[in-house]
């Protein structure tokens, strides 16, 4: 078989581990030829290919990002995009595709499956918001990076007796904020799933100052104050209709300073959370996903996504994986709130 593989959407640590696993097992065990498509869905639209050989994936396990490059290209938003994609697949005699990505990339994969394109999906997102899988690779690394940042910021906050607001990624799901906030001992955690009261946040901050400690507030970029709206960093939308968010951390830090009279600073971690070396957990999970994805390809079990359920890797329909976002349930938020202040 000639198997195509691509990485779409935002990059994250662990992508190269998937490529390595798909290539090594695909070639060594099944005798497949592996063709990489560059820059996400743009690759099969424009015919941007590169062969993936054993030599090319030899030293990439611990590398962040993706050796294939990525993009937020949506074939259904490009004139003739789907037809050009299908023509490229036919021209290069691709028997099946492995699509590695999050909600948007796998949403395209699901649509293509309905049109007869043989695709198997691999779940990737630092936000951990893909339904039908317990965890996505990239999430553990992002949480580790955010937690380390919180640890470092705590010492400078204590030294200067100031409040520090740490803004992490999370457009519609607050998993990074929740996990890094809990691990870093944050005094307040704010997520998109639940609007927050600025008055209550200020009260928690005051409690912390009264105990002679500096407060740490972790806020997801998509968190919304009561009666407010998402704070937009830019008005333009990408090919999947997403507006770039950001600014809630700075806004909240200013509010805290104004209402308490205490010095308050904001730190936006931004793309730091996406970069660098993947954790051991993400390397293992990504590798297992890659191994099971090439199994599904070889068996002709298309229209599926490999997923983690407990400790097992299973296959679920792509439509199930992309039907809804996995958000933080109220019960998890209630667990964390007892630690606030």
Q: Which two tokens stand for residue 323?
A: 């039907």
Q: Is residue 114 a known part of a binding site?
A: no
Q: Is residue 311 a known part of a binding site?
A: no
Strands 312-317, 304-309: pairing is antiparallel
Question: Taking the mean position of all CA atoms in its chain, how far away is CA 193?
Answer: 17
Give the contacts of 140 (CB within 8 A, at least 6 positions apart): 279, 281, 282, 285
Enter the DSSP assignment of 319. H
Q: Is residue 169 a known part of a binding site?
A: yes
Q: Is residue 221 a known part of a binding site?
A: yes
Q: Is residue 274 a known part of a binding site?
A: yes
36 vs 115: CA distance, rounded Å = 22
User: How many C-beta neighbours within 10 Å does residue 59 have?
Assistant: 10
How many degrees, rounded to 5, is the angle at CA 292 between CA 29 and CA 112? 110
Q: Is residue 171 a known part of a binding site?
A: yes
- Residue 127 designated active-site: yes
Q: Is residue 261 a known part of a binding site?
A: no
Q: Is residue 315 a known part of a binding site?
A: no
CA dihedral 329, 333, 334, 337 (to 10 degrees): 180
Residue of 127, 140, 282, 295 with catalytic role: 127
Q: Is residue 38 a known part of a binding site?
A: no
Q: Is residue 127 a known part of a binding site?
A: yes
Catalytic positions, please? 127
Numbered residues of the known binding site for diphosphate: 10
- Binding-site residues for substrate, in ranges, read 125-127, 162, 169-171, 221, 265, 271-274
User: Residue ranges for the binding site for Mg(2+)?
Assistant: 103
């Amino acid at each position: 078989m000639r198997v195509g593989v691509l990485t779409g959407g935002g990059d994250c640590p662990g992508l190269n581990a998937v490529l390595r696993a798909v290539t090594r097992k695909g070639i060594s065990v099944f005798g497949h030829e592996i063709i990489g498509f560059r820059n996400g869905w743009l690759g099969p639209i424009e015919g941007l290919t590169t062969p993936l050989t054993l030599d090319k994936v030899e030293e990439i396990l611990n590398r962040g990002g993706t050796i294939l490059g990525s993009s937020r290209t949506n074939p259904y938003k490009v004139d003739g995009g789907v037809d050009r994609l299908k023509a490229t697949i036919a021209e290069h005699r691709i028997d099946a595709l492995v699509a590695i990505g999050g909600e948007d990339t796998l949403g395209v994969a699901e649509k293509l499956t309905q049109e007869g394109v043989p695709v198997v999906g691999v779940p990737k997102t630092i936000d951990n918001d893909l339904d039908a899988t317990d965890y996505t690779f990239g999430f553990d690394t992002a949480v580790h990076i955010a937690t380390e940042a919180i640890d470092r910021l705590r010492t400078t906050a204590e030294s200067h007796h100031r409040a520090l607001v740490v803004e992490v990624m999370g457009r519609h799901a607050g998993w990074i904020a929740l996990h890094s906030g809990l691990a870093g001992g944050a005094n307040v955690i704010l997520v998109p799933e639940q609007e927050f009261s600025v008055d209550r946040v200020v009260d928690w901050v005051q409690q912390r100052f009264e105990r002679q400690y500096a407060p740490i507030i972790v806020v997801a970029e998509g968190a919304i104050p009561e009666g407010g709206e998402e704070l937009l960093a830019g008005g333009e939308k990408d090919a999947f209709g997403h507006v770039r968010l950001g600014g809630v951390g700075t806004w909240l830090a200013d509010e805290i300073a104004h209402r308490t009279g205490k010095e308050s600073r904001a730190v936006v971690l931004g793309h730091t959370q996406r970069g660098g070396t993947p954790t051991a957990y993400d390397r293992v999970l990504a590798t297992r996903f890659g191994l099971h994805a090439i199994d599904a390809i070889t068996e002709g079990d298309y229209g599926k996504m490999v997923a983690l359920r407990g400790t097992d890797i299973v296959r679920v329909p792509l439509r199930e994986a992309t039907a809804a976002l996995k958000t933080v349930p109220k019960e998890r938020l209630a667990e964390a709130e007892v630690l606030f202040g």
